[in-house]
Structure 1
């Protein structure tokens, strides 16, 4: 069972982390400052209370005859707290804080020579309580300010890092689409150097290594196909000179298949080299497709919904149509339908549809649409069609007529290949220009 995942950006993760750390630090510092201020205030109040009591004791002991204690002190106060009595039992003077509110009671007591106890009891002045309240309010405001400031700083730092990562991801996506001239390090930019630059350099190095390997494989494939071209041509010519018969037909058929394979491999190698350029002409797309498809396969149902003038390479467009129709005839079921609507050409059959691997990853050489390895194809037809579409600046997509995972026989299913011709076709130099005729 798949667990639900919460997606958040780096910006918010960093800001939340900084805000949480700031909140913890602000809370801890506020608690320390509050306790230190309270302890200092109580110690000052206790010292002041003891000083007043000692002064009252001197007055009491030096007055003859002795009168009632002065300055609010009391003799043998019955409300004297029990913890303070236990301290006085040892003959020591002591102070005691009673209560835990913002304004607790402060007790001070001293034992007299005759066994009596002189004590002074008063509440902390309201001014001190107000000072503590003001301090707590200032600490709360400061803590909230620190949290919001940390959050803003996190958004700023995280936003910069997020932008750099997004630029790197966008550049890596362009590289994955085949634009090998893009460099992730240049796309990231910036003055500050961090781990993002290391990642970008690693991706660029990987791209260069893959490009070198692909180019080496392409050269080897092209060289092998080119070397095979001459002997295969000779083999086909020799097969034509054999006497009639069933073995001769088999040899000729296999020789032609080998020649077709060599030509296809050479074409794939040229398309991989990205040196192909379209030779553009202005054509009426619906009329062109109707004429070419009728020659390629007379049994195809052709429908022109909307005519459109396009600037494209007729030879390459015919090659794309031939490969799509061949694939539909080989792996699909009739009827095969070709629909032209503006700049869009759709080729549909009513067979089992494209395999999931092709829909997910696109066409791949030497991987056929058959479910087993007994098929007669080599998986180059759709690969060549996709490569020729790139040369035309077009987009070739594949989908199935039935929903994924649902078997729909007849008209409900089938494979659908859609060729989207661009509004601005590539020129012979690889750039783009506007077509001379509007739609």
Structure 2
């Protein structure tokens, strides 16, 4: 089974702290080894020189027939075997070994015939010095590593905190809050050094301001065009009503009505784009509301109530959402079209070719057409915008056996402060 690491393990702060720790440990280990080798080499060298000096004195005394000094003797007990063999072969040498549980520096050389003259020098003090040095190196390395990690983590956290703030603002902008800005302290004060995070924050703020300006210009243009069209369309509609009956008149009235609908849709889009829509909330029965929407659409849509529910919502906006979904099912799909109420979830399904791939991937796009086919106009865009105003979630998908499926999930609100009510199946 593959284990997934926790999310915090992939953060920049953790990675930086681990890198700093590894580098500090490696540096401390390298310095510790160098100091240990240098001090040990010097300490062992001094002890070796002392032992060889005493061995020379002992050899001179032995050759002169004088008594040997304390610590010197022939074929001494405890003399390491390798050193004994070296001396018996006619060479001099030294070696550190334990003697009666104490570290000892041995020096040995040939005496006469096969006997070996050896000198033992106490090495306990030097061994304690090296052990103390190793402990000091270990503790100092641990303290230095800990202090460096704390300072490095503090410095990295300051940077990552600014990066997190920048990422949060970017997410707010992508969610539609074009007023969001990073306003990094370094970008507000040009006299301070401008690091890479400040450059990213300044670029994001500049991009958001530019995007906001362009969108506001587009919204103003859309609203102005729609408003300017309303007056001549009203006159055109009145003039069309005065035309004599006939097929040409019906065509003119039909096109005028379509143009008026498009103008009203553009005005509604511009209002939704401003984000200043206000809700008129009331408790509504979803089953009854769905029935009214289908009857008002004049389409052959079957209403299926699995479980009715009462929700606090804006009736006009909810009817607009469901009406657009039903109209889209009949305009771009094939019958039968079914509107299903299952608690706070309302589903509209047809049995046509389903939604196109671009719509499933990116959501409704205004007047988007695919491959020369007929586009979805503004109906689904308005439905999605009104659903967001209601705090609902509108999802688009395709059924496995064919057909487009629009799923609207409404927030359940307790009526009169009591528990949310869901009626039995119809």
Tell which has more relative contact order, 1 or 2 (C-alpha 8 A, sep 6+). Answer: 1
Q: CA deviation at 1:399?
A: 2.1
Matched, 1:354 2:365: no
Question: Could you tell me whether the CA contact under 8 Å between 1:19 and 1:151 is conserved in 2?
Answer: yes
C-alpha separation in 1, matches of 2:221 and 2:103: 91
- Describe the superposition over 1:356-395 as per-residue Cα deviations: whole angstroms up to 9, x where unpaired: 2222222121214xx42231x4531111111112222322
Moved more, 168-177 or 148-157: 148-157
Question: Could you tell me whether the CA contact under 8 Å between 1:11 and 1:157 is conserved in 2?
Answer: no
Question: Could you tell me whether the CA contact under 8 Å between 2:337 and 2:351 is conserved in 1?
Answer: yes
Indicate the residue corresponding to 2:15 in structure 1: 13
Secondary structure of the residue aligned to 1:278 is coil
C-alpha separation in 2, matches of 1:416 and 1:78: 94
Q: TM-score if structure 2 supplies the norm length?
A: 0.74
C-alpha separation in 1, matches of 2:333 and 2:119: 103
Indicate the residue corresponding to 1:313 in structure 2: 314
C-alpha separation in 2, matches of 1:401 and 1:226: 40
Question: Could you tell me whether the CA contact under 8 Å between 1:12 and 1:154 is conserved in 2?
Answer: no
Indicate the residue corresponding to 2:379 in structure 1: 381
- Describe the superposition over 1:177-205 as per-residue Cα deviations: whole angstroms up to 9, x where unpaired: 2234444459xxxxxx9865654454344
* CA pair 267-108 structure 1, distance change in 2 beyond 3 A: same
- 5 Å matches for 1:15-34? 15-34=17-36
Moved more, 382-391 or 130-139: 130-139
- 5 Å matches for 1:198-347? 199-241=200-242, 249-347=250-348
Q: CA deviation at 1:132?
A: 3.0
C-alpha separation in 2, matches of 1:154 and 1:326: 61
C-alpha separation in 2, matches of 1:185 and 1:304: 51
C-alpha separation in 2, matches of 1:83 and 1:337: 109
* CA pair 309-325 structure 1, distance change in 2 beyond 3 A: same
* CA pair 246-99 structure 1, distance change in 2 beyond 3 A: farther
Q: CA deviation at 1:28?
A: 0.5
Indicate the residue corresponding to 1:429 in structure 2: none
Gaps in structure 2 of 5+ consecutive residues: 75-83, 110-116, 185-193, 422-426
C-alpha separation in 2, matches of 1:239 and 1:328: 30
Question: Could you tell me whether the CA contact under 8 Å between 2:301 and 2:338 is conserved in 1?
Answer: yes
C-alpha separation in 2, matches of 1:181 and 1:33: 60
C-alpha separation in 2, matches of 1:47 and 1:437: 95
- Describe the superposition over 1:230-281 as per-residue Cα deviations: whole angstroms up to 9, x where unpaired: 3344444445555666555554444433332222222111110122222333
- 5 Å matches for 1:424-435? 435=415
Q: CA deviation at 1:291?
A: 2.1
Secondary structure of the residue aligned to 1:352 is coil
C-alpha separation in 2, matches of 1:214 and 1:82: 98
C-alpha separation in 2, matches of 1:69 and 1:321: 118
Matched, 1:417 2:406: yes
C-alpha separation in 2, matches of 1:275 and 1:223: 17
Indicate the residue corresponding to 2:189 in structure 1: none
Q: CA deviation at 1:287?
A: 0.9
Indicate the residue corresponding to 1:112 in structure 2: none
Q: 1:40 aligns with which of 19, 38, 42?
A: 42
C-alpha separation in 1, matches of 2:29 and 2:133: 14
* CA pair 79-175 structure 1, distance change in 2 beyond 3 A: closer
**Root-mean-square deviation (Å):** 4.2
Secondary structure of the residue aligned to 2:351 is coil
Q: CA deviation at 1:328?
A: 0.9
C-alpha separation in 2, matches of 1:414 and 1:78: 96
* CA pair 83-232 structure 1, distance change in 2 beyond 3 A: farther
Moved more, 377-386 or 155-164: 155-164
Q: CA deviation at 1:282?
A: 3.0
Q: 2:177 aligns with which of 155, 176, 179?
A: 179
Question: Could you tell me whether the CA contact under 8 Å between 1:23 and 1:146 is conserved in 2?
Answer: no
Gaps in structure 1 of 5+ consecutive residues: 86-95, 110-118, 187-192, 403-407, 425-433
Q: TM-score if structure 1 supplies the norm length?
A: 0.72
Question: Could you tell me whether the CA contact under 8 Å between 2:397 and 2:405 is conserved in 1?
Answer: yes
C-alpha separation in 2, matches of 1:141 and 1:275: 64
* CA pair 81-265 structure 1, distance change in 2 beyond 3 A: farther
* CA pair 267-60 structure 1, distance change in 2 beyond 3 A: same
* CA pair 100-383 structure 1, distance change in 2 beyond 3 A: farther
Secondary structure of the residue aligned to 1:334 is coil
Indicate the residue corresponding to 1:431 in structure 2: none
Q: CA deviation at 1:97?
A: 5.3
Indicate the residue corresponding to 1:372 in structure 2: 371
C-alpha separation in 1, matches of 2:238 and 2:137: 96
Q: CA deviation at 1:20?
A: 0.7
Indicate the residue corresponding to 2:394 in structure 1: 396
Secondary structure of the residue aligned to 1:338 is strand
